[in-house]
Structure 1
Amino acid sequence: MMMERLKRWRWALLATAIMLAGLLYAMWPEAVAVDTAKVSRGAMTVGITDDGVTRAEEFYIVSAPVTGYLSRIELEPGDKVAPGTLITRMTGRPSSPLDQRTRAEMRGALAAAQAAEGGASAALAQSRRDLARAEAIFERGFLPRAQLEAARTRVAADRSAQAQARAEIARLNAMLADPSGLGSGAAVGVRAPSGGEVLAVLNESEGVITEGTPLVTLGNPDSIEVVVDLLSREAVRVEPGMRVEISQWGGPDPLIGKVERIEPFGRQRISALGIEEQRVNVIIGFEEGSAAQGVRLGHGYQIDATIALWQAEDALRLPIGALFRGPDGGWQVFAVENGRARATTVTLGRMNDEYAQVLGGIAADAEIILNPGNTIEDGTRVAPRE
């Protein structure tokens, strides 16, 4: 009886089973298509990137030595000059002779300058003796470094005061010796203090100019260094000798340099957003031959520089696009295991714009999901997107 009933209903049961299988298949969740990547080993660098400018390692701004009439400067930017090359000529403008009262005032100022020079010399001698005692006490370990640096600063200040007083004495002596200046209209030649090229002509046209007016800038464009002004809190992490990649200079491949020095003096700058910032100049030199093979960088060219604070040639790393914060606030990734996403906690070290260094939690060559969306959870069926 049972066999007969089964035979009678076998087609109905088969149809029902097919319908249930189709319904189950239709309601079964599809695998989510995801982008994947591998945990790999390779070179990794963590650094500071900022823009900077190139400049000649040694350049000179030639200024007008006297007040007078400037002849037109015929030199053009790019012209080569040798030391002592005549740049232009100036004719001194006649000045009115000094009257008796002015000369008396100048003699009084000269006497005051001489007295100031004597006081500055005595102060310098005393500060030098104080510095010698401070250095001796410091070597025995009984004096803080701050007091030693203060003693050195006093010596520098007294030396500057002495030099200033002597310069004032020389100026007043010169004016008393020739009270009419260049009243004869004598021509004064302006010559190049060093060899190189004309980088810029700052005052080309002829006319009357005052003493100290910049005329031309001279330098050697083949001897170039880079100046990058970093935030002071970033500059303290930089050390001389660090490797630097110079990019965005106009060529396809980066140029390699190294940090030569970090200037000890910070300057206040106003950012594009109007924020006051303390900036420090970091001087970068090119490595031998890196800037000489068909590369032409002049004075004042804009570049981007990346200073390598840390680098490794064989770091275990993963793309930072795979990272997300777990429930406990730690870093996690979704590893792909047997077609399913598995939330995996990872321990990270250094990070840059592309990779994070892996210290633990996942092995090399593990497949992970990039940029996981909200539809991905632990255990979700996934399939790599083709």
Structure 2
Amino acid sequence: MAMTFTKRTLGTAAGGLALALLLAWWAWPSPRVVETAVVGRGPVQVTIEEDGETRAVDRYGIASPVTGRLLRVTLREGDLVKPGQLVAEIAPTPLSAADRDLLGARLESAKALEAEAFERVRRADADAAQAVREKKRVADLVAGRFMSPQALEQAESAVSMKAADVAAARARAVSAAADVRAAQAALASVRANAPAVRVDSPVAGRVLRIAEKSERVVTPGTVLVTVGDPSALEVAVDVLSNDAVRVKPGMRMLLTGWGGDEIEARVRTVEPAAFRKVSALGVEEQRVWVVADFEAVPPGLGDAYRVDARIVVAEKADALRVPAGALFRRDGKWHAFTVEGGRLALRVVEAGLRGSRDVEIVSGLAEGARVVLYPGNDLSEGARVAPRR
């Protein structure tokens, strides 16, 4: 009888213990599944991302010099033109004495602009020569180890930019001279009662755009044909003015979204004046044009093509980094949750370069550590977690 009671008691106790363990296992909270990433090494870039547009470096809007009836334009977009080639003809309307005086004044204005353009060429040549002398001086100092090699790179970049300024100034001078010839022709045609005014191309290039192919009445200054070299392209990006202060000539610009592989350009200039633009959300913004030169223009890219631009304002090729979504602010400092032994550990982190995708880690995390991505407010130190498979 005692033996039976003991066995029955032990059996009941064992069953109760098993049931209690089962209930405890069922009620015990399962680990929280979280997204994680591993701290590793790689490049970190701080970029300014905006939409941009390609454009011909030297484009010429050939305008009507007189009021008259534009005769039908026979050129087509993409046609090659030579300097002095006829691009349009305008049958002038009878002019009054006041209109003739206006044409004379326009000729004098064109001559003044031509003189100014050639003066700019002279100044650009002088600046370019000074940049070459400065490069030689810096090269001698670098050779003597009085300056860093980066100073020589900056001097070489300055020589390239000054050479580009010279080319642009000479192109503007050519255009100004063509404007003088056009104004002279307009005035001469009125005085001689010529049947039509010739409008010639000032430069060689391709027809990029024809504003109006059919006959119509035009006024002085109406752009008829735009001519340029589509193989000599630059890219223009308008950035917020508070971003523009971080952009410097020589910085890299990475271009995507144009239909081909990523291409690289170099910032040539940041325009000194901002302009007002209304965003898609209806917000007025102050923006600044940043202009960059292509390292090499890829085949197929043309004038006025849209691109996605990333201006690299700071970068490190080999940095300890984590995804930007792993860090969060608490008590004025950066923190991250690491997964250690199936539980969360809160780490104070010192961040360096902060890109849109990755952040450089100066201290607080070791390479190979597993961090939680996009941690919610309900996570706390010591909580049980499991990385998502």
How big is each residue's C-alpha offset from its partner over 1:71-129, in whole Å with a ceiling of 9 and x where there is no partner? 2110011111111211122333333468xxx99xx8xxx9xx9xxx9xxxxxxxxxxxx
Match of 2:226 among 195, 217, 235: 217
User: Matched residue of 1:19: which SS?
Assistant: helix
Q: 2:284 aligned with 1:276, yes or no?
A: yes
**TM-aligned CA distance change 1:238 to 1:9, over 3 Å:** same
Unaligned runs of 5+ in 1: 118-169
Deviations 1:204-238, CA, capped at 9 Å, x for gaps? 22244322221100001111101111222211110
Q: Computing the radius of gyration over CA atoms, which structure comes out larger, 1 or 2? A: 1
Q: CA 1:14/1:264 → structure 2, altered by over 3 Å: closer, same or farther? A: same
Worse-superposed segment, 56-65 or 205-214: 205-214
Q: Distance in 2 between matches of 1:23 and 1:203?
A: 84
Which letter does structure 1 place at the counterpart of 2:308?
D
* Structure-2 change in CA distance of 1:45 and 1:10 (3 Å): same
Is contact 2:315–2:353 with CA below 8 Å preserved after alignment?
A: no
**Contact 2:237–2:290 (CA under 8 A) maintained in structure 1:** yes
Tell me, yes or no, if structure 1 residue 229 matches structure 2 residue 238: yes
- 1:80/1:197 contact within 8 Å kept: yes
Q: Which whole-Å CA distance do the structure 2 matches of 1:266 and 1:258 have between them?
A: 21
> Secondary structure at the residue paired with 1:61?
strand
1:323 aligned residue: 327
Q: Partners of 1:308 and 1:365 in 2: how far apart?
A: 27
Residue aligning to 2:346: 343
Structure 1 residue ranges (4+ consecutive) displaced by more than 6 angstroms after TM superposition:
2-5
Match of 1:191 in 2: 200
Give the partner amino acid of 1:302.
R
**Distance in 1 separating the partners of 2:17 and 2:91:** 113
For 2:94 and 2:9, locate their aligned partners in 1 and report how far apart those are by CA, in whole Å: 129
Task: Please give the per-residue CA displacement for 1:301-357, whole angstroms capped at 9, x wherever unaligned.
Answer: 22221100111111111112222333x242222111111111222111222222221
Check whether the contact 2:47–2:356 (CA below 8 A) recurs between aligned residues: no
Which runs of 5 or more structure 2 residues have no equivalent in the other structure? Answer: 113-179
2:315 is matched with 311
Per-residue deviation, 1:42: 0.6
Q: Using a 3 Å threshold, how does the CA distance of structure 1 residues 200 and 17 change in structure 2: closer, same or farther?
A: same
TM-score (norm 2): 0.72
1: CA distance, partners of 2:88 / 2:328:
67
Indicate which of 357, 376, 380 corresponds to 1:377.
Answer: 380
Contact 2:44 2:353 in 1 (8 A): no
More deviation, 218-227/5-14: 5-14
- Structure 2: which amino acid aligns with 1:385? R
Deviation at 1:189, TM superposition (A): 1.8
CA distance in 1 between partners of 2:275 and 2:20 (Å): 77
- TM-score using structure 1 length: 0.72
Q: 1:299 corresponds to which residue?
A: 303
1:256 aligns with 264
Structure 1's 340 and 193: CA in aligned 2 closer, same or farther, altered over 3 A?
same
Whichever residue aligns with residue 87 of structure 1, its letter is: V
What are the within-5 Å matches in structure 2 for residues 1-386 of structure 1? 9-96=9-96, 181-182=190-191, 184-251=193-260, 253-288=261-296, 291-292=297-298, 295-326=299-330, 328-386=331-389
**As a proportion of its length, which structure holds more helix?**
2
- Aligned residues with identical type, % of pairs: 41
Secondary structure at the aligned position of 2:231 is classed as coil
